[in-house]
Structure 1
Amino acid sequence: MSTFFVRPEVAALKPYSAGKSIEEVRREYGLTRIIKLASNENPLGPSPRALQALREAAEGVNIYPEGPSTALREALGARWGVGPDWIFVGNGSDEIFRLLATTYLRRGDRVVVPRPSFPVYAGASALMGAQVDAVPLKDGAMDLPAMAARARGARIVFLCRPNNPTGGVFAAEAFDAFLRAVDPDTLVVLDEAYREYDDTLFDSRAFLAEYPNLIVTRTFSKIYGLAGLRLGYGVGRPGIWQPLYTVREPFSVNRLAQAAGLAALDDHDHLEASRRMNQAGRQFLTAFFREMGLRPWPTQANFVLVDLGRPAAPVFEGLLRRGVVVRLPDPADLPNALRVTVGTEEQNREFVRALTDVLNA
């Protein structure tokens, strides 16, 4: 009887699978030594400045945080060259995607998403009763001409650059052509969660100035190492964000997250160390996969998707039993693939040893 009142949109959704946690693997396999290379977290951890800010902010956790995250919005606006009213801070990028869907989607509206990509785009849209039109990738990145063709009459288009789980990117010229082809009444959401790891030339700020229907989102969960605090932000015209404040939770971004995010922004040494470590690790893993006769996908993120040429699920299980946690993508899209986060040099080598053992077993 308890399911009688569940909305059909909810009943049809699959729960988001976050992959195996360290705690889960420890309980299920009885292991003590575990390395997690599954969720694209920064293995260097947070900035020391962010940790210090956390310690100081902890003394005030008996007080509600400031709802609009004004200080963080001002700092982010200065970096992007826009006013703070162009910035919306959320409880991770996920909250922003869900709030956009809640605010702007009506039952029957069309939403265009890439596939495979981050599943929250489709999930948040389907929850509001929208029709989700998934467009297959091309060479691991968005097929922008195909998405533009399907976007006619769509309410929202979600893009991801670099794409998760493939790591592919598209060129600035292709994106400009896409934005010109899309109806100006269609909201375009560009998720740049991994932008700080990307070596290609691409300046989303220039597109924001030219296209009023564009939103760019970023996160503190990846290169800034604050995944456990849940902090993300979006950049776009103030008129887009104003209605979201009426539907969001009043204090969705906690005091600790705001303080740590503000401090992390100024730690350029930590940011550069994270970039250098990722670049070296990405090259190491890609070279290893090729030497093994496997097919790594081109990536500009902090992970590598590799085609094993065989069903990936048994290999994933074999790695778990050796204490190495990677990500198994949706088998409906990528049945032979694993996604591995770039770790420290030691973690990368441990993964390589474990994968070699599994493949040779």
Structure 2
Amino acid sequence: MKKIIGQLKPYVPEEPAESVKARLGVDRLVRLSANENPYGTSPKVREAVLDYVVNNDANLYPDGNASALRAKLANYWTVEENQLVIGVGLDEVISMVNKTFINTGDSIVISVPAFSEYGLNGLVEGAVIREVPCIEATGQYDFGAMRKAVDDTTRIVWICNPNNPTGTYESVEDIHKFIGTLPDNVLVIIDEAYIDFVTSVAVPTARVLLDEFPNVCIMRTFSKAYGLANYRVGYMMSSAELANYIQTIRLPYNLNTLSQVAAEAAFEDQEFLRATVRQNAVERDLWEQTLDEVKATYYKSGANFIFMSVPNVEALADEWLAKGYQVRRGQRENWLRVTLPPADDGVIMRSVLKDYMARQ
């Protein structure tokens, strides 16, 4: 066993919903701790999946190249098909990136708090993780400090945009300036899992940087705005050279056919995506207005969640849980990450928040 494995803690899944409901005596549990899409999945996905199941057996392996999905993505993003790496969620893609490019003793630079998989997969491959605190007041990336953390050992810099868990969005211009200061042999991987939710700018994606910087990679997922968390489909765009290196270690048949069919159908239903983004933006505004009203601390979000803090925040989380609303704890002391719920649930949760703050 690798020595580092004995030092890591295994991922502990959330308590099953039925178990939580029984323990709390509630009839309904709304999970707002995993940043899933509370508006469900495009009905076109259900139709496509059912059609496939009815008309096909499961005795054959899936298309190992995910050819149809690959062609749709390449056409949409105006990249070559060999510039795409498609994985079982971004978790698999992140793992493949680290396996491909990290040697023992290399360093990885991340802003913290951050998505834990960046550091975890780096540690497994023997990397030194250099954590750079975000700007405390705003939650934004401290690009100056991140640049200072980069040296001759650095192989990867991770940029999650909008960032998980802070929800903050970094402009393409600021990312461009930062990348321009880095050595060419440092990979900059921009994780845009939540980018569809950004409404503050017309074109939030950093796709354009792929054409200028051969060391830039951009990750996207179907798990969030497209509502396909259960189907586990993520992908990365990069130069053909970098993608080819990763493809050499990708497991054959990694993405099953149902996931491919679901992703194709979801990608074609852009109206479902737009409706999700519209509803999320309305709720995000209402939450930020309420948080301002009760004088809570939070970061301006471009995502489908808000990172917030109030006095004795665990007590607030418990009160929400007693009402059937489960939020994410433990990513920073005395902070919560709240996936934005649909309108009716938002009214209830904000009412609980107001009552709680009135007692503080």
TM-score class, shorter-chain normalisation, is: over 0.9
- Distance 1:278-1:264 versus aligned 2 partners, 3 A rule: same
Question: After superposition, what is the alpha-carbon deviation per residue over 1:12-41, rounded to whole angstroms, capped at 9, x for unaligned?
Answer: 112235545523422432422211211111
- Looking at structure 2, the residues matched to 203 and 31 of structure 1 have their Cα atoms a distance apart, in angstroms, of 41
Which residue does 2:351 correspond to in 1? 353
Per-residue deviation, 1:328: 0.9
How many Å apart are 1:260 and its aligned residue?
0.7
Deviations 1:59-98 (A, max 9, x none): 4333221112111111001111111111111100111001
Q: How does 1:7-22 map to 2 (within 5 A)?
A: 7-17=2-12, 19-22=14-17
1:165–1:329 CA contact under 8 A, matched in 2 = no
Structure 1 window deviating more from structure 2 (279-288 vs 10-19): it is 10-19
Summarize the alignment of residues 259-274 of structure 1 with structure 2, pairs less than 5 Å apart: 259-274=261-276
CA distance in 2, matches of 1:39, 1:176: 30
Mapped contact 1:20–1:325 kept (Cα < 8 A): no
Which of 94, 98, 122 is the equivalent residue of 2:119? Answer: 122
**How far apart, CA to CA, are the structure 2 residues paired with 1:255 and 1:141?**
39
Q: 2:42 maps to which residue? A: 47
Partner of 1:173: 173
Q: 213, 226, 229: which is aligned to 2:228?
A: 226
1:56 positional shift: 1.7
Contact 1:92 1:221 in 2 (8 A): yes
Ranges in structure 2 where 5+ consecutive residues have no aligned partner: none
Cα distance between partner residues in 1 of 2:151 and 2:233: 32
Query: Structure 2 matches for 1:220-299, cutoff 5 A?
Result: 220-299=222-301
Please list, as runs of the form range in 1=range in 2, the aligned pairs for 1:106-121 lying within 5 A after superposition.
106-121=103-118
Q: 2: distance between equivalents of 1:328 and 1:317?
A: 10
Shift of 1:352: 1.8
Residues of 2 paired with 1:20 and 1:290: CA distance? Answer: 32
Q: Which residue pairs with 1:157 in the alignment? A: 157
Q: Which amino acid aligns with 1:294?
A: A
Cα distance in 1, alignment partners of residues 35 and 352 from structure 2? 19
The amino acid of 1:326's aligned partner reads V
In 1: Cα distance, 2:106 partner to 2:316 partner: 40
Once residues 270 and 230 of structure 1 are traced to their aligned partners in structure 2, the CA distance between those partners, rounded to angstroms, is 18
Corresponding residue of 1:187: 187
Counterpart check, 1:319 vs 2:317: no
1:245 deviation in Å? 2.5
CA offsets, 1:165-199, max 9 Å, x none? Answer: 11112222221111111111111110000010112
Deviations 1:96-137 (A, max 9, x none): 001111111111111111100101000000011110001111
Distance 1:244 1:28, change over 3 A: farther
Query: Counterpart amino acid of 1:269?
Result: E
RMSD: 1.7
Displacement of 1:272 in angstroms is 1.1
* Residue 3 of structure 1: aligned partner: none
**Structure 2 vs 1, CA of residues 23 and 214 (structure 1 numbering), >3 Å: closer, same or farther?**
farther
Pair 1:146-2:148 in alignment? no
> 2:86 is aligned with what amino acid?
V
Letter of the structure 2 residue corresponding to residue 105 of structure 1 = I
Give a deviation string over 1:186-242, Cα, whole Å, max 9, x none.
Answer: 111100000101122434121000100110001000000000111111001111122
Determine helix, strand or coil for the equivalent of 1:113: strand
Gaps (5+ residues) in structure 1? 1-5
Contact 1:305 1:339 in 2 (8 A): yes
1:206 aligned residue (205, 208, 223): 208
Query: What are the superposed Cα offsets for residues 233-274 of structure 1, whole Å, 9 maximum, x if unpaired?
Result: 100111112222232221221111100101111112101110
CA distance in 2, matches of 1:140, 1:18: 27
Residues 78-117 of structure 1: pairs in structure 2 closer than 5 A: 78-117=75-114
Residue 140 of structure 1 and its aligned partner are, at CA, apart by: 1.1
In structure 1, what is the Cα distance between the partners aligned to 2:3 and 2:101? 20
- 1:146 CA drift (Å): 1.5
Match of 2:330 in 1: 329
1-side partners of 2:24 and 2:251: how far apart? 38
In 2, distance between residues paired with 1:16 and 1:350? 31
2:352 alignment partner AA: A
Check the 8 A contact 2:192/2:205 in 1, yes or no.
no
Give yes or no for contact 1:166–1:297 (8 Å, CA) kept in 2.
Answer: yes
Once residues 112 and 127 of structure 1 are traced to their aligned partners in structure 2, the CA distance between those partners, rounded to angstroms, is 15
**What's the TM-score once normalised by structure 2's chain length?**
0.93
How many residues align? The count is: 352
In structure 1, how many angstroms separate the alpha carbons of the residues matched to 2:251 and 2:352?
44
Contact 1:77 1:84 in 2 (8 A): yes
Residue 358 of structure 1 and its aligned partner are, at CA, apart by: 4.7
Instruction: Tell me the residue number matched to 1:34.
Output: 29
Contact 1:92–1:233 (8 Å) recurs in 2: yes
Q: Distance in 2 between matches of 1:20 and 1:39?
A: 12
